[in-house]
Amino acid sequence: MNKQLKVLFIGTYVPKECGIATFTHDLLNSVYGEYNDVQCEVIALNNASETYKYPEEVVFQIERDKIEDYYRAADYINRSDADIVCLQHEFGLFGGNAGDYIFAILSRINKPVITTMHTIIQEPELEYRVSTEKLIKYSKKLVVMSQTAVEMLKDVYEVSEDKIEVIFHGLPDYPFNNCEKYKKMLHLKGSPLVLTFGLLSQNKGIESVLEALPDVVNQYPNLVYLILGATHPEVKKRHGEAYRQYLKNKVSELGLEDNVIFHNKFVEKEELCNYILASDIYASPYLSREQIVSGALTYAIGMGKAIVSTPYWYAQEMLSDNRGLLVDFGDADGFKKSLLYLIENPEECDNMRKKAYEFGRKMTWQNVGGEYNTIFSKALKNENTYPKIHKIFSFNSEQAV
């Protein structure tokens, strides 16, 4: 490519405390870091009450529920010298019915759009089906993070396979490690140290692990279960700390005060990685099967953790070939047996960790950035087949999405 490639990302962005904000930031850096001839900018989405001191790559901001901001963003994109738009899509990021305010941008811009789909609904209500079908129509390529997602797009939404690209959720590249070094660094006790992390909400299913622990700690009293993460901001807004308090009450009822620790904070990526590296076992007890991706599980795999998870879609695929143990949803007895198996069979546990770690090498951000850049380049080579919109649209409050 003769000129510098310019990519404009649309999504939430750091310092906002949300998984997609972190993902967008990491993806931008992996794309930028892979090639010196790529320039990256961001259009960031905020809720009404939020103001952030964004880094310089954020060139435009959209207030989630202000439709006029989306029209102005479309104007900005059309006037910019961006070559390609990389959209991070999750319905709740955007205002309107099933997030349909985003189409005020997508229907008006004259740049090819590569969409990363963070959520795909297998049995969508009508408004979510309509929104997904419009998203498919306006996207040059759809990036998904698992083969399960590919099959769902083909079966449920009749998307042709040549429109879909599988690129794994990225992760930092760390050597296969000994946990003790990181336990000392973070002043953590626990042998074994079991970890669950991420923004806290009821779908985490943490109570299943708590109910499994009394019989385990009877045999291994030095076990510590660390629950790391702040309560999800939307959950906190609606329900306060009800779920966290419910879990704390359960810890007391089960007599686990010496074995369960809550760290109620949103941790930045480097600190988070240190916590994962310090842990012996990662527990992923989600209650919903319809989980198409999990950044937390991806990190645990790539850092070579022994993993016990419920069989949500992403976990089923990622933990196949003996890369982890699967336990039924809400099955406390299954978690108990799995934890005991990992503790009592160190050789099998170590083999599982190594298999997970080796698989994770495909997911490092360096590899992910290279794969996105390949898609961007291909999309631009075929740009002459992309229907151009030559008109520059101006905001009109009476325009419908």
SS (H, E, C) the chain: CCCCEEEEEEECCCCCCCHHHHHHHHHHHHHHHHCCCEEEEEEEEECCCCCCCCCCCEEEEEECCCHHHHHHHHHHHHHCCCCEEEEEECHHHCCCHHHHHHHHHHCCCCCCEEEEECCCCCCCCHHHHHHHHHHHHHCCEEEECCHHHHHHHHHHHCCCHHHEEECCCCECCCCCCCHHHHHHHCCCCCCCEEEEECCECHHHCHHHHHHHHHHHHHHCCCCEEEEECCECHHHHHHHCCHHHHHHHHHHHHCCCCCCEEEECCCCCHHHHHHHHHHCCEEEECCCCCCCCCCHHHHHHHHCCCEEEECCCHHHHHHCCCCCCEECCCCCHHHHHHHHHHHHHCHHHHHHHHHHHHHHHHHHEHHHHHHHHHHHHHHHHHCHHHCCCCCCCCCCCCCCCC
Cα–Cα distance measured from residue 68 to residue 73, given in angstroms and rounded to the nearest whole number = 9
Answer yes or no: do 257 and 290 share one domain: yes
Longest dimension (CA), the chain: 71
Confidence of residue 36 (pLDDT cuts 50, 70, 90): low
Answer yes or no: do 238 and 258 share one domain: yes
Task: Tally the residues of the chain.
Answer: 401
**Residue-level pLDDT at 18:** 86
**Residue-level pLDDT at 177:** 84
Answer yes or no: do 200 and 269 share one domain: yes
Answer yes or no: do 192 and 336 share one domain: yes
Answer yes or no: do 27 and 147 share one domain: yes
Mean pLDDT, the chain, rounded, equals 92
User: What CATH number corresponds to the domain at position 227?
Assistant: 3.40.50.2000
Residue 393 lies in a domain: no
Of the listed ranges 295-304, 341-350, 388-397, the least confidently predicted one is: 388-397
Residue 398 lies in a domain: no
Answer yes or no: do 290 and 154 share one domain: no
Answer yes or no: do 137 and 266 share one domain: no
Could you tell me the CA-to-CA distances from 278 to 175, 188, 191, 272 in Å, in that order? 13, 8, 11, 10
- Is residue 16 a contact partner of residue 52, using CB atoms and an 8 Å limit? yes
Residue 342, pLDDT > 50, answer yes
Instruction: Please report, rounded to a whole number, the percentage of residues in the chain having pLDDT higher than 70.
Output: 94
Residue 21 lies in a domain: yes
Confidence of residue 49 (pLDDT cuts 50, 70, 90): confident
Residue 127 lies in a domain: yes
Q: What is the mean pLDDT of residues 317-329?
A: 98
Confidence of residue 199 (pLDDT cuts 50, 70, 90): confident
Answer yes or no: do 218 and 294 share one domain: yes
Q: Which residue type is seen at 22?
A: T
Q: What is the mean pLDDT of residues 102-128?
A: 97
Residue 235, pLDDT > 90, answer no
Residue 205 lies in a domain: yes
- Cis-peptide, bond into residue 387, ω within 30° of zero: no
Question: In angstroms, how far is the first alpha carbon of the chain from the final one?
Answer: 35
pTM score: 0.88
More confident residue, 240 or 259: 259
Which residues constitute the domain of residue 38?
A: 5-170+364-385
More confident residue, 281 or 270: 281
Residue 87: both structure tokens together: 């959209």
The residue ranges of DSSP E strands in 203-356, in sequence order, are 224-228, 260-263, 281-284, 306-309, 325-326
Cα–Cα distance measured from residue 296 to residue 318, given in angstroms and rounded to the nearest whole number = 12
Q: Where are the alpha helices (DSSP H) in 35-146?
A: 67-79, 103-106, 126-138
Answer yes or no: do 196 and 145 share one domain: no
Residue with token string 């649209």: 393
More confident residue, 386 or 140: 140
- Read off the pLDDT of residues 283-295 as tens digits, 9 standing for 90 and up: 999 999 999 999 9
Residue 46 lies in a domain: yes
Residue 269, pLDDT > 70, answer yes
Which residues face 281 on adjacent strands?
Answer: 194, 306
Residue 401 lies in a domain: no
Residue 247, pLDDT > 50, answer yes
- Read off the pLDDT of residues 371-396 as tens digits, 9 standing for 90 and up: 999 999 999 887 654 444 333 333 33
Residue 395 lies in a domain: no
Q: What is the mean pLDDT of residues 185-203?
A: 92
Residue 228, pLDDT > 60, answer yes
Answer yes or no: do 289 and 302 share one domain: yes
Of the listed ranges 55-69, 236-250, 327-341, the least confidently predicted one is: 236-250
Number of domains in the chain: 2
Q: Which residue type is seen at 162?
A: D
Answer yes or no: do 238 and 380 share one domain: no
Answer yes or no: do 252 and 301 share one domain: yes
